[in-house]
């Protein structure tokens, strides 16, 4: 077990931030299960800023420290945001103090956010669990997913998105959707590359860039973000104020707004 104390990390906030759909609370306690990168991890929150990772020190160093971006200095990012004295952003940053941008598997992000289109989080999570169940709970690779027919994908609740996933799996299996090549691209080139594939528009492309490629300048805009921008900023939000970390700002805003709504 590894215990960490970090004032900029909260597994509960990350689990409810909308960037990942496979972090689930176990029962009524402060224990969370994370399924990612072919591994399953349990994290227990023992105090407001202290968490215990139930894994070996080797797995923590080689997998989870990087996955949760625990080497990133989010304290400095917060200071950079707060200096603008933006009342809404100040509230968002203070409320979502423990958010971080996960370094997720690119393939899982692409599939998950295609599923997320015009969907709500409980249904997204349920569909993804059905997709993972035949594979021992692990996320299916392109080679596994390509074996599904469009009809079988529809049967687990994917609806019109089944066609997009079937096509993307074939493209990934054949090398047309080349994830290793995608990793080498800059932000704008990566956005153009993924938007060539059906089912990937501007919002999903930016989710892939932010959550899969860890391009922190990416700024996904969905219905929630559009409401914030229209309601708080008269329809215009200048992301140029936040060079290289606009995606972190987006995460604070998204989490804060959904929490206020609840």
- Note the pLDDT of residue 262: 61
- What pLDDT does 12 receive? 93
Residue 261's pLDDT is: 67
Same-fold call for 2-95 versus 106-200: no
Task: Please tell me the pTM assigned to this model.
Answer: 0.94
What residues contact residue 37 under an 8 Å CB cut-off, 6+ apart? 63, 67, 105
Task: Report the pLDDT value the prediction gives residue 177, as an integer from 0 to 100.
Answer: 97
Q: Name the class of domain 106-200.
A: mainly alpha
DSSP per residue, 193-235: HHTTSTT--HHHHHHIIIIIS--TT-----HHHHHHHHHHHTT
One digit per residue, the tens of pLDDT, for the chain of length 262 reads 899 999 999 999 999 999 999 999 998 779 999 999 999 999 999 988 999 999 999 999 999 999 999 999 999 999 999 999 999 999 999 999 999 999 999 999 999 999 998 888 889 999 999 999 999 989 999 999 999 999 999 999 899 999 999 999 999 999 999 999 999 999 999 999 999 999 999 999 999 999 999 999 999 999 999 999 999 999 999 999 999 999 999 999 999 998 876 6
Q: What are the residue numbers of the active site? A: 203
31-36 sheet: strands from edge to edge? 2-5, 50-54, 39-47, 31-36, 23-25
Q: What is the pLDDT of residue 202?
A: 95
Paired tokens of 69 = 């971006």
Question: Residue ranges per domain, the chain?
Answer: 2-95, 106-200
Backbone conformation region of residue 126, classed left if phi is above 0, alpha if psi is from -120 to 50, else beta = alpha
pLDDT for res 245: 96
> For residue 74, what pLDDT is reported?
97
DSSP H stretches of helix in the chain = 11-15, 57-59, 65-67, 74-82, 87-95, 106-115, 121-132, 142-145, 150-154, 161-174, 179-183, 187-194, 202-207, 223-233, 246-261
Question: CATH number of the domain at 2-95, please?
Answer: 3.30.310.260
Token pair listed for 6 = 């970090």
For 198, what's the count of Cα atoms within 13 Å in the CB-facing half-sphere?
12
**Which are the contacts of 254, defined by CB distance < 8 A and separation ≥ 6?**
17, 18, 222, 224, 225, 228
């Amino acid at each position: 077990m590894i215990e960490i104390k970090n004032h900029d990390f909260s597994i509960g906030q990350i689990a409810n931030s909308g960037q990942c759909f496979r972090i689930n609370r176990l029962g009524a306690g402060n224990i969370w299960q994370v399924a990612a990168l072919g591994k399953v991890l349990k994290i227990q929150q023992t105090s407001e800023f202290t968490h215990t990772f139930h894994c070996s020190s080797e797995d923590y160093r080689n997998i989870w420290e990087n996955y949760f971006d625990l080497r990133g200095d989010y304290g400095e990012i917060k200071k950079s945001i707060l200096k603008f004295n933006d009342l809404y952003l100040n509230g968002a940053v203070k409320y979502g103090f423990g958010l971080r941008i996960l370094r997720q598997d690119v393939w899982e992000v692409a599939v998950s956010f295609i599923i997320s289109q015009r969907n709500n989080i409980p249904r997204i999570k349920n569909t993804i669990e059905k997709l993972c169940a035949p594979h021992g709970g692990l996320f299916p690779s392109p080679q596994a997913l390509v074996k599904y027919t469009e009809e079988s994908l529809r049967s687990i609740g994917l609806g019109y998105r089944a066609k997009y996933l079937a096509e993307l799996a074939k493209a990934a299996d054949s090398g047309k959707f080349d994830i290793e090549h995608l990793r080498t691209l800059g932000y704008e080139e990566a956005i153009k590359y993924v938007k060539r594939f059906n089912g990937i528009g501007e919002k999903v492309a930016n989710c892939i860039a932010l959550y899969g490629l860890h391009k922190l300048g990416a700024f996904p805009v969905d219905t929630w973000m559009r409401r914030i921008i229209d309601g708080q900023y008269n329809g215009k939000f200048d992301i140029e104020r936040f060079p290289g970390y606009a995606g972190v700002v987006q995460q604070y805003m998204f989490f804060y707004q959904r929490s206020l709504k609840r």
